[in-house]
Structure 1
Amino acid sequence: MSGLGARDIGHRVVVRHRIPGGLTDVIGVLQAGTPELVTVRHADSTLYDIPVADIAAAKRIPELPLRPVDVDQLFLTASLGRPAVERAYIGQWLLRASAGWTGRANSLLPAGRPGVPVAEALEQTVAFYTERQLRPQVQVRVGSPFDQEIRALGWVDARPGQSDVLVMHTTLDHVNAAPGYEVQLTERPDDAWYAAAFEGPVPVVAPQVLEGAAKARFASVVQGGRVVAVGRGAMTGHWLGVDSIRVAEGFRRRGLGTAIVQGLARWSGPEGGRRTYLEVLLENIPALTTYTRLGYQEAYRYRYLTNR
């Protein structure tokens, strides 16, 4: 590929090539390459197919430094990427309920302003969840003003024995290299995907939550006729949210989780994806190590508070 090889696929490159009247450079991620044609994806997801015969020079270049993230925006974006079954608002604060399955889908998200005093908003929150026979919970960014204000009103950790949840982010340039395994992507998960994603029965409401995003893909890796790794990716604006990654016991520590992330990232790019986020418990050291190695960095941490 005129100075580029298969190892460069998924990495940033610069390709100088001939056009009528002179030379021009294309900078982006090398998406594919054959002896005849090189495909480079620009930062805006435009694909450039460049004949190898027209290339004057080409090389891999360093990845862009990771820009700071707007944590207020990402806090809301992460919720929209995995929408709850039932939603209501107190001003800009989002109430979510999904029959009790997962904290994210059954807690108040205090993003923006509630439009009423915080104490009154919390009273409405308690009423909302009590009516649905759910424990009142608020998802708060650790150390944020709302975290402090809600605690001052008597709310406490809902899960004191659990570590913080770490929300990590990076750019697609860091994670869209070619996967080491074939990753299959579908618009809807089948029974085999769900069987691999859950240990035991699938919660009744889980399909509504996982399949509720406007634009999502369900990834899987099959070996020996068996689904051994799965994950889910959802697009919200230019953000790709990755979740539900699970690798079957006996197949871990082989790079399957990494392949799932990379497969979803390579789908997201042509769809307008620029950045990606995921969540991991701080105590999950193996997963945290994998994501850090891929280039993910901490954006913020969150916990759940309750009034009882």
Structure 2
Amino acid sequence: MRLMSADVSNLPLGSRVVVRWRLPAPDPATGATLTDAVGTLVARDDDTLQVETSRGLVTVELARVEAAKEVPPRPTRRGAAHLAVSIEDLQRVMTPAWGAVERSTLGDWALRASQGYTQRGNSVVPVGSPGRPLSDAVDDVEDWYAARGLPAKFALAGPEGFDPGDDPLGALLLARGYSVGSRTLNLTADRDTIAAADPGGPAVVITSELTPPWLEAYRKTRATVEGATEAVLRDSPRVLFASITPGGGLSQQLGLRASDAAGTTPIAVARMGIGAGWAGLGAVWTDPAYRGRGLAAHLTAALAARLREEGTSLVHLQVEHDNTTAIRLYRRLGFDVHSSYAYLTQG
């Protein structure tokens, strides 16, 4: 079970955490020897960490930490937990779920570069303040990407169907000649709802390792960049790779061709990146010859069920707004539209 760990070295500064630690002496009122600090991790050194809680700043000696983990941002509105998070906070929790070869920050903004492999891996998440005037911040972003031979690209978020020109940053980028493209929906759901919608199917293999057969199948889904693709797929705080591979008694069940039944390359794959108290589903693919058999739904539900071992209960995914087939699948599994974003790319 990976619910909590005493190792706090991988907890990102700025994330919301719960830290359980031993008190110097039992609480005189209750006799308790342990207590929890819940809030934002604001500092950490070789001896202590500091958590900004609702009651103020708490400093904890690392030697007293019993367990700690990231937890989702505090809800900002009523409703189901997967819909109660703000648009900005959802952008924050989505950021570690998809990898990058290189990451940097500009104030609160997150910059990612991956040799051009995927838009998410080569774009800015402009959430919060960049720590300087917007125009200066955009100049700095453009310089950062130019140094890597890439155009600047911003993932600008808003409600479903929002107009980027109504956002101050969006208006500035449009005035600079940026183009709008790849409008994407953010879908969210509860882990147990997805797991309960499993249509059933063949055995699903889930591993934390990026295996050659999984990667071979993934390369059929899109153009890849040697080295960068592997780095992006591995670069999340915790990653799960799921696959369905032909063999055993699956030939008759799936109607496999004789050549496929003997193979080791998966006929369906999916990836889940876990970070910031959420899990992000991506890289879902089924061999065209075996679509319509519920394999994508089965893989997704199996990954959701596995999240119980990870102590993670909320799931997000991104899907292009006009991909009606995928949206219909995810809605059947219990996903709801939370928000959206559009890429604004330097011309």
TM norm structure 2 = 0.66
Summarize the Cα distance change of 1:201–1:299 in structure 2 as closer, same or farther, 3 Å threshold. Answer: closer
Summarize the Cα distance change of 1:287–1:306 in structure 2 as closer, same or farther, 3 Å threshold. Answer: same
Amino acid at match of 2:155: Q
**Aligned-pair CA distance for 1:83:** 2.8
Query: Contact (CA 8 Å) 1:194, 1:202: kept in 2 or not?
Result: no
Q: 1:188 aligns with which of 196, 199, 209?
A: 209
Residue deviations 1:229-288 (CA, integer Å, cap 9, x gap): 000012114311110001001111111000111111111112111110111111111111
Matched, 1:218 2:241: yes
Matched, 1:170 2:223: no
2 CA distance for matches of 1:299 and 1:156? Answer: 29
Query: Contact (CA 8 Å) 2:270, 2:285: kept in 1 or not?
Result: yes
Q: What secondary structure is seen at the aligned counterpart in 2 of 1:263?
A: helix
2 CA distance for matches of 1:69 and 1:144? Answer: 21
**Aligned-pair CA distance for 1:146:** 9.0
Q: C-alpha root-mean-square deviation of aligned residues, in Å?
A: 2.1
Q: What secondary structure is seen at the aligned counterpart in 1 of 2:290?
A: coil
Equivalent residue for 2:61?
none
Summarize the Cα distance change of 1:275–1:146 in structure 2 as closer, same or farther, 3 Å threshold. Answer: farther
2 CA distance for matches of 1:192 and 1:99? Answer: 23
Summarize the Cα distance change of 1:302–1:155 in structure 2 as closer, same or farther, 3 Å threshold. Answer: farther
**Aligned-pair CA distance for 1:65:** 8.5
Give unmatched runs, 5+ long, in structure 2.
1-79, 247-260
Query: Contact (CA 8 Å) 2:269, 2:283: kept in 1 or not?
Result: yes
Matched, 1:275 2:305: no
Equivalent residue for 1:208?
231
2 CA distance for matches of 1:288 and 1:156? Answer: 31
Query: Contact (CA 8 Å) 1:75, 1:111: kept in 2 or not?
Result: yes
Give unmatched runs, 5+ long, in structure 1.
1-63
2 CA distance for matches of 1:77 and 1:84? Answer: 15
2 CA distance for matches of 1:150 and 1:256? Answer: 41
Amino acid at match of 2:187: M
Deviating above 4 A after TM superposition, structure 1's stretches of 4 or more consecutive aligned residues are 64-67, 144-147
Q: 2:168 aligns with which of 149, 170, 177?
A: 149
When structure 1 is superposed on structure 2, of 119-128 and 137-146 the one drifting more is 137-146
**Aligned-pair CA distance for 1:145:** 8.3
Q: What secondary structure is seen at the aligned counterpart in 1 of 2:145?
A: helix
Quick one: percent identity of the two aligned structures?
28
TM norm structure 1 = 0.74
